[in-house]
Amino acid sequence: VLDELRNAVGADHVLTDPDVVAGYVIDWTGRFRGATPAVVRPAGVDEVARVLQICAAARVPVVPQGGNTGLVGGSVPQHGEVVLSLRRLDRLGPVDAAAAQVTAGAGVTLGRLQEHAHAAGWEYGVDLGARDTATVGGTVATNAGGVHVLRYGSTRHQVVGVQAVFADGSVIDRLDGLEKDNTGYDLGGLLCGSEGTLAVVTAARLRLVPRPRHVVVALLAFDDVDDALAAVGALRRAVDALRALEFFEQRGVDLVRAQMHVPPPFPEDHGAYVLAEAAGGTDPTEALADAVDRLARVRDVAVATDARAAAPLWQYREAHSEAINLIGPPHKLDVTLPADRLAPFFTRIRGTVAAVAPDAQVWLFGHAGDGNVHVNVTGVEPDDERVTDVVLRFVAELHGSISAEHGVGVAKRQWLHLTRSPAELQAFRAIKDALDPAGILNPNVLLP
Amino acid sequence: VLDELRNAVGADHVLTDPDVVAGYVIDWTGRFRGATPAVVRPAGVDEVARVLQICAAARVPVVPQGGNTGLVGGSVPQHGEVVLSLRRLDRLGPVDAAAAQVTAGAGVTLGRLQEHAHAAGWEYGVDLGARDTATVGGTVATNAGGVHVLRYGSTRHQVVGVQAVFADGSVIDRLDGLEKDNTGYDLGGLLCGSEGTLAVVTAARLRLVPRPRHVVVALLAFDDVDDALAAVGALRRAVDALRALEFFEQRGVDLVRAQMHVPPPFPEDHGAYVLAEAAGGTDPTEALADAVDRLARVRDVAVATDARAAAPLWQYREAHSEAINLIGPPHKLDVTLPADRLAPFFTRIRGTVAAVAPDAQVWLFGHAGDGNVHVNVTGVEPDDERVTDVVLRFVAELHGSISAEHGVGVAKRQWLHLTRSPAELQAFRAIKDALDPAGILNPNVLLP
C-alpha cells in the first residue's frame, strides 16, 4: 500500500519518519495522541481520489486532516489510520464580485482567505481565533462557527458548493457558484459538519459579504445574568446590523485583568457583561445607541466606533481562553442552550459541577446571541469524565446541544446518545453506510 | 389498508370520493394529473407516523402534499399513490423573541406565518407569490426561494431544525431552536429540497429576521442587458442592506403595460431594467442613492421610500407572470446561471429556442442577484419537450442549474443527468435507499 501511495502522490509526500509525522499524530492541546503508518500529502483532487481508491481497495482507514486545530480529536489517527493531509490543496481563486463568492482549496487557511477577501472589498463571514492555522477543509468538515454566526450563520451557510471525493474515489464537483440549485439532495450541506466521515472535501465555493465600512462595539454591564440575557433578546430585535453578542462574567474580567495586566472596563464591578458589535455599510452607531438607551437595566456602557478603541473592549472577551490557560489547563466544554434555558443553565451549572468536583472553578463565557456557552473548568483534569458527564447530562436535560461548534470527534462520542434519539442515530448510520460502505473514512469519530 | 388508515386518522379524514379528492390529484396549473385510492389527512405527527407504518407494511407508495402550489408535479399522485395531506398540521407557536425563531406546523401557510411574525415585530425571510396557499412543509420539502434569497438565503437557511417522520414511522424532533449544534449530520438541511422522498416534514423551527423599519425601492433603466448585469455586481458590494435585485426587459414592461393597463415607468423606453430593494433598521436610502450615483451607465431612475410608492415599481416585475398567462399559457422554465454566464445566456437564449420553435416568444425575468432566470415561452405547448430540451441543455453547457427554485419533481427528472454527474446521482440513490429502503416516499419524483 505504501508503494502504491508513493506512486500516487510522489515519494516525497508519503511521510513515515516518526520525527516528521509527530506533528500530524497529536492535536494542538496534546490531549489526543495517535500513531500512523503514513501521512499522505496529495497535491490535488485527482491525487486525493487515487489515495482513497488505494486505501479502499486495501480496507485501510483514513483520517482526513486540515490545520489540526480541532478540540475533540477528530483529526488524530488514534487507531493507526493513514493521515490524509489536505494542506497542499491551497489554491485560492479570484474574488468573483458579481457573485460575491470565492473558490478556496481545502488547505487554504481562514486567515489567508480573509486577507484575500479584504483586499477585494469583501469579507468571509466565519472568523475564529485559530484563523491562521484552521483551514477551509477543516472548517467545512466541522461546520465551524465563531463570533459572527448571529449575523452570517455557521460555515454551512457560507458553502455554496463543494468539490469532494467519496470513499470509492468518485469525485463530485459543485464549484460553479449557483446560489439557487434545487436539483437533488444538498450533498455540500451534508458534508458540512460530517467530520470527514462521508467524503473528503477538497475545495469549497464560499459566499462573501461586503466588508463593513462601519463597525461599532458596545460593552454593557449588568447586575446579573438575567438582566444581561434580557438585553440579548432586546438588542437582537432592535439592531439588525448586530454581528456579535458575546457574554462573560465579572470573575472572567477579573481573571483577564490579573493575567493580562489590563485596567478594569468600568470604575465599579458588575455581575455580567454583554459585548455587542454592529457593522454595516450604513453607520449603525445611532441604532445601537438608541437600543442601548431603551435597555432598562444596563448599569454602565462603553462604546467604541473605531478599531483602536474596540480592541481593549474585545480583549475582555477574547483573552478569556488565554487567561484561563495560564491557570489551567482547563477542561473545555462547548455547549448550546435554547435561548430560554440559558438563565437556568447559568444559575445551576456551578452547583452541578461542584457535585462531582467541589474544588473546581467554572468559567462561563461565549456567544450569547446563539446560546453558545464555553464552559471552562479549572482545578480538574482536562479530560475529567465525571465533569464531562454531569455537564453534558445537564445540557441534555435543558434540551441543549453537547457540542455547539467543536463537533463530536472522539471526545464526545459516548455522550451523543444524550441528545440524539435512536431514530437520528439510525439515520446517521444509514447515511454513513450508504456513502462509505467500506467504512474507511474517519471510522472512529462521531458515530457510536 | 383503507380500514387501517381510517383507524389511524379517523374515517372523516380518509377521503375517497372522486369529487372530494379531485383538488388533490391535479396541480394548480392543470399540467399534472393523477388518481389516488385515498387522500389521508392526519392531525399530528403521531398520526403521520401511523399512516407511514401502515403504508410501509403494505408497500403502498405515498405522495406527501402541502399547499399543492408546485410547478413540477412533485405533489401529484401520478402513479396512483396515496396522498398524504399535511394541511391539518397547522399549529403555529409563539414568536420566541430571545431566539428570533418560531415553530410552525407543516400545514401553516407562508402568509399566516408572515402575519404572525409581523405582529411581533419580526419577519420570515422567505416570501413568494403563492404565500397564501404554499405551506411551511411544502416550502421546506422544495427548499423554496423567492425574492429575498439574496439577503436571507433560501428556505434551507431559515430552518434551524425539523420534526419529521421517516418511512418506517420513526420520528425525529429537532424543534428546540439550537442555532449551533454540531453533533452529527444535518438531517434537517438534507430534508430541505428532498421533495418528500426521504421523510415527511411535520413541523419546522424557523429563523426570523427583524422587521425592517425602512424599505427603499429603486427601479433602474439601462440600455441593454450587459449594463444591467454590471450594475447588479456593483450594487451587491456597495449596499449590504439589499434584499432584492430583480431583472426584466423592455418587452416585459410593454406586455405588463398592455395587459395591466398601467403607465410606463419612464418617458422613454430602455433595453433592460433592474429593480433594487434595500431594507433595514437603519435607513438605507442614502447608501442606495450613493451606489446608484456611481453607476456609470444607468439611464433613468425611479425611487420609492414608502410602500405606496414602491407598489407600482414592483408591479412591473411582479405582474410578469400574470401578464404572460393572459397571452399564454406559457412554458415555464426556472433556471440559474453562474453570475458570469448570465450575459451569454441572455444573448443566445432566444436563438436557441427559435431553433426548435421559430414562432415562440421568449420572456426573460427573474432574480438577477441569484442568477435565477424565469424563462417563459409562449406560442408553444406548456410542456413542449423540444423547448425544455434545448433550454436545459444550453443551461447545462453554461454550468447552470436546470431548476433554481422549483425543484425536479416529475417535470425535469429526465434532464437531471445534464447537470448532476453519475457520482452525484449514485450518492442521491444511496441516500434514498438508506433512508427509505422500501421506496414508498414519493418514489416517482426527483431521482431517475
Q: What is the pLDDT of residues B348-373, one digit of tens each?
A: 999 999 999 999 999 999 998 899 99
- ipTM score of complex: 0.95
With contacts defined as CB-CB under 8 Å, which chain A residues touch B233?
97-99
What pLDDT, on the 0 to 100 scale, is given for residue A3? 97
| Residue scoring higher pLDDT (A328 or A252) | A252
Under a CB-based contact definition with an 8 Å cutoff, are residues B229 and B343 in contact? yes
Best mutation target among B52, B183, B236, B447 (most A Cβ atoms within 10 Å) is B183
Q: Which helix (H) or strand (E) holds B101?
A: strand B101-105
CB contact under 8 A, B190 and A186: yes
Tell me what the mean pLDDT of segment A155-163 comes to: 97
Query: Per-residue DSSP letters for A289-352?
Result: HHHHHT-TT--EEEEE-SHHHHHHHHHHHHTHHHHHHHH---EEEEEE--GGGHHHHHHHHHHH
Calpha distance B445→B281 (Å, rounded) = 42
pLDDT for A337 beyond 90: yes
Mean residue pLDDT of chain A comes to 95
B339 and A177 in contact by Cβ < 8 A?
yes
pLDDT of residue B98: 85
Task: Look at residue A49 in the predicted model and tell me its pLDDT.
Answer: 98
| Distance from the B192 Cα atom to the nearest Cα atom in chain A, whole angstroms | 8
pLDDT of residue B146: 85
- Which candidate from A157, A172, A423 shows the least CB-CB separation from B424? A172
pLDDT of A328 reads: 78
Distance of residue A176 Cα from the nearest chain B Cα, in angstroms: 6
Angle between helices B307-318 and B250-260 (to 10 degrees): 110
Mean pLDDT of A207-234: 94
Whole-angstrom distance, CA of residue B132 vs CA of residue B229: 32
Q: Do A183 and B154 touch (CB under 8 A)?
A: no
Q: What is the mean pLDDT of residues A237-248?
A: 92
* Confidence class for position A21, pLDDT limits 50, 70, 90: very high
Identity of the residue in B166, B176, B401 whose CB atom sits nearest the CB atom of A178: B401
* Residue showing cell 379531485: B22
Q: Among all residues of chain B, which has the CA nearest to that of A233?
A: B98
Least confident of A158-162, A236-240, B169-173, B200-204: A236-240
Sheet with A200-207, side-by-side order of all strands: A101-105, A200-207, A159-165, A171-173
Could you give the CA distance from residue B406 to residue B318 in angstroms, rounded to a whole number?
17
Cell reading at B191: 430534508
Comparing alpha-carbon positions, the chain A residue that sits nearest to B372 is: A180
Q: Alpha helix (H) ranges present in A184-277?
A: 187-191, 225-238, 250-260
**Alpha carbon B59 to its chain's center:** 31
Low-confidence ranges of chain B (pLDDT < 50): none
What pLDDT does residue B97 have? Answer: 87
Cα–Cα distance measured from residue B368 to residue B388, given in angstroms and rounded to the nearest whole number: 21
Residue A29 has pLDDT above 90, yes or no: no
Residues of chain A with Cβ-Cβ distance to B409 below 8 Å are none
Asked whether residue A282 carries a pLDDT value surpassing 90, the answer given is no
Which residues does chain A have within 8 Å of residue B99's beta carbon, measured at their own beta carbons?
233, 338-340, 371
CA A19/CA A214 separation, integer angstroms: 48
